[in-house]
Structure 1
Amino acid sequence: MTKVTYKVVPHDGGWAYRQGDVYSETFPSHSDALQAARIVAAEQQVGGEPEEISWQDEKGIWHTEYSEGGDRPEAEVMDGDEAPTTH
């Protein structure tokens, strides 16, 4: 199973959560960013309806895949150097 980690970090004069190299919007307080990261982590694990997904690769070739909608990653939030919490 895929795992997604959101980390709460200082950012742009406030606080944000980060997934990989991508930052969220900047929040005025650490607790606001932490709460937002927990909400996003919980929503990341909600399954959807079965559907076809079309996407174009780097060579310009289109692909179509079927998604059952229930294959969701495990999501966790890391608050600074603390141990992650799974949602």
Structure 2
Amino acid sequence: MSLIHYKIVQHDGGWAYKLGDVFSEPYRSHAAAMAAARRVAAEQRVPGETRYIQYQSEDGVWHTELAASTDRPQADVLE
């Protein structure tokens, strides 16, 4: 199981949560961004459906694999 960290940062005149290099929409307050990040982190843990997925790797090769519904990351929020 992988572990992902959402971070709360100042962004675009407000606050946002960030995963890697990707920012959420801006929120007016740190508390609002924190609440949104916690909600998103909780949603990461909800199992979905087992199904085949396709994705393109950085080298341009397409891959197909079976994604298990229980293969969900652990997610947390860092301030």
Q: Same fold (TM over 0.5)?
A: yes
* Alignment CA distance shift 1:55-1:14 (3 Å): same
What secondary structure sits across from 1:71 in the alignment? coil
1:19 positional shift: 0.9
Counterpart for residue 5 of structure 1: 5
Is the aligned partner of 1:33 residue 2:36? no
Q: Deviations 1:30-71 (Å, cap 9, x if unpaired)?
A: 111010000000001111111011223445443211111111
AA aligned to 1:75 is A
- Percent of residue pairs bearing the same amino acid type: 54
Counterpart for residue 78 of structure 1: 78
What secondary structure sits across from 1:27 in the alignment? coil
Q: TM-score with structure 1 length normalisation?
A: 0.81
Q: Which moved more, 1:7-16 or 1:56-65?
A: 56-65
Alignment gaps of 5+ in structure 2: none
**TM-align CA RMSD:** 1.4
AA aligned to 2:19 is Q
Runs of 4 or more consecutive aligned structure 1 residues displaced over 2 Å after TM superposition: 55-63
CA distance in 2, matches of 1:77, 1:33: 10
Larger radius of gyration: 1
AA aligned to 2:73 is P
Q: TM-score with structure 2 length normalisation?
A: 0.88
CA distance in 2, matches of 1:35, 1:15: 11
Aligned residues: 79
